[in-house]
Amino acid sequence: MPENKNASFCRWRRFGKAGVRLDAEKILYIDPIVIEPGAPKADIVLLTHGHAEHFSPDDVAKVSSAQTVVAGPAACVGLFRLNQLPFEAGESKTVLGVSVMATPAYCPDDARHPKEAGGLGYLIEMGGVRIFCAGDTAVVPELRGLKADAGFLPVAEDLMSARTAVALARDMGLRMAALTHAEPGSALEKDFIELAQREGIAAWLPEPAFAAA
């Protein structure tokens, strides 16, 4: 899959299975986990759900300052004392000048990710660029019709296949896509790269200074 050389609007790094840091007008973390010492402090932390591989209160604390806004499902953000911002699916809010819309994240055929649990993804707009962070979700009806420029999609056996992820990326109009969950070099990643290339979707790669360790 070709590297997109025009992704300078936002650098990113992945942590663990699905944690992401976005460095743009603001520093955003989505599900910060396995955070190394000295990591930049967040302006905004977005939490998707409470599973242990996504939600680490200790790691949220590592990237938070007194000014950091911690947003996400009420059951998650309620554990923090400062700057809580609960979200429910379908809500849109402006957070420190960043437009954030929460999208539902669930898997109808997976008991670990029921709709009733209130898991979230996010559609984020900074500097006129829309970034979709899917969270732990299948391709569900509520995602139809959403549009974005770039996105993070969860390719894993219990979430999206490579084929369904690429179809969603195409339908959303993504110019660039990055994966969560799939291990680098895995068959899932290779399948996604091959299929995305056929659709003209570029790899949204981390800049060398932010490459995963």
**Average of per-residue pLDDT values in the chain:** 88
- What is the tally of structural domains in the chain? 1
Is there a domain that residue 98 lies in?
Answer: yes
- Residues 31-85 have pLDDT tens digits of 999 998 889 999 999 999 988 888 999 999 999 999 999 999 999 999 998 899 9
Q: At 145, is the pLDDT very low, low, confident or very high (cuts 50, 70, 90)?
A: very high
Is there a domain that residue 3 lies in?
Answer: no
* Predicted confidence (pLDDT) at residue 109 exceeds the cutoff of 90: no
Is there a domain that residue 213 lies in?
Answer: no
* Predicted confidence (pLDDT) at residue 209 exceeds the cutoff of 50: no
Token pair listed for 166: 């690429």
Task: Please state, for a pLDDT cut of 70, what percent of the chain lies above it.
Answer: 92
Is there a domain that residue 183 lies in?
Answer: yes
Higher per-residue confidence, 212 vs 110: 110
Average pLDDT in the 174-179 region?
A: 91
**3-state DSSP assignment of residue 142:** helix
| Enclosing domain of residue 137 | 11-205
The CATH number of whichever domain residue 98 belongs to comes to: 3.60.15.10
Q: At 9, is the pLDDT very low, low, confident or very high (cuts 50, 70, 90)?
A: low
Q: How far apart are the C-alpha atoms of 22 and 13, rounded to whole Å?
A: 7
Is there a domain that residue 210 lies in?
Answer: no
